[in-house]
Amino acid sequence: MLVLDGSRSPYLPTREILAALSQAVSPEFSPVDLARNLRERLALLHGVTVDRIALFPDDSTRFERLIELAQDRPVSLFSPTDFDRASLANAAVVEIERSARFRIESEQIEAMPPKAIALVMTPNDPTGNAIGVSTAAQLARRAALLILDERSAEMQRRSMVPLVEEFDSIVLMRSFADWAGLAQNAPAYAITTNQIAASIDRSAELSAGGLNGALAAVSNAQMLDAIAHLVRLERMRLYRMLRKLNFLHPFPSDGAYVLTNVTRGDRNAIAAALFERGIVVCGPRTPGLERTLRFSAISPVATRQLQAALVDISRTLGD
């Protein structure tokens, strides 16, 4: 079965990271020592000072302290986006529809309540859109706090890190899940101002095992970036292939996947026909995406297999 319904690289974690995770954590290094080491390594990796790095558990609570910092301001979400709204249960959420091509443009920025919290996933899942530096700057000027959920940051073409030094209201939220394939007990981290970092840091709650895995990932940053580059190349190949079909309209993507609009035929019927041919794809359940399918970028072989199946299915579609 060819699985093309994921949003992460299929090549993770690397053997080096798995080997590090299998080793017992040395008792001479406490979680406090490991967290300090991780902050130092992340600061060096991103070219920022150590006091701009905050660590915390990678779970639904990672946004809570940020929301509290903004003193009960409304939270603006830009939909469609596959964001866990349970983490915003105590906030007043304002949903703002993206443009027809799922972008955040001047109309969406003006629709955001002034001095609200802007929460933007970039690249966005499942649409694949990544906002540009100029858009982020416009959002930062209008919002009291701009939270950029960059869990798949390594897949996009630009870095928002320089903006953190320009604006004192930007928080970049990063994850080791998409970049390194780590899940259980792995920390998440933020790059932001030293004041915000100190307020949201929860490194005391992290386990030695999770911190050890994150340190292994940073040590293998060059390998992980090379893997991300391969996925980006395959994403471009996948996009070009899908453009040639007369019943799917792909959208440009900065994620590890490509979202397409079904212009002819039934979305669910096409997904079922692909399953019959041994291919699993994602039919997003996000409101507004009922006629879309999302395909993961894996390898040239997988793209060719998908192409053959889609061409075969196209012969059975009615006008």
pLDDT at 209: 85
Nearest CA-CA partner of 293 in 261, 245, 318, 253: 261
Q: How many angstroms separate the CA atoms of 7 and 278, rounded?
A: 19
Arithmetic mean of pLDDT, 246-269? 95
Q: How many angstroms separate the CA atoms of 200 and 56, rounded?
A: 8
Q: Which stretches of 112-266 are DSSP H helices? A: 133-142, 161-166, 176-180, 194-200, 208-219, 221-243
- Is a pLDDT exceeding 60 seen at residue 319? no
pLDDT at 179: 86
| Predicted confidence band of residue 25 (pLDDT cuts 50, 70, 90) | low
Arithmetic mean of pLDDT, 267-294? 95
Q: Which own/partner contact pairs does 147-151 have at CB distance under 8 Å and 24+ positions apart?
A: 147/63, 147/66, 147/117, 147/118, 147/119, 147/120, 147/171, 147/173, 148/120, 148/122, 148/172, 148/173, 149/83, 149/119, 149/120, 149/121, 149/122, 149/173, 150/122, 150/174, 151/121, 151/175, 151/177, 151/178
pLDDT at 27: 59
pLDDT at 318: 60
Q: Where are the domains of the chain?
A: 2-9+223-314, 15-220
Q: How many angstroms separate the CA atoms of 153 and 170, rounded?
A: 15
Q: Which CATH architecture has domain 15-220?
A: 3-Layer(aba) Sandwich (3.40)
pLDDT of 26-47, one tens digit each? 656 788 899 999 999 999 999 9
Q: Do domains 2-9+223-314 and 15-220 have the same CATH topology?
A: no
Arithmetic mean of pLDDT, 100-111? 94
| Residue 218: CB atoms within 10 Å | 18
pLDDT of 45-67, one tens digit each? 999 999 999 999 998 788 888 88
Residues in the chain, overall count: 319
For the domain covering 2-9+223-314, report its CATH number: 3.90.1150.10
| Predicted confidence band of residue 24 (pLDDT cuts 50, 70, 90) | low
Please report where in the chains the tokens 């604006």 appear, as a residue. Answer: 167
| Predicted confidence band of residue 299 (pLDDT cuts 50, 70, 90) | very high
pLDDT at 62: 85
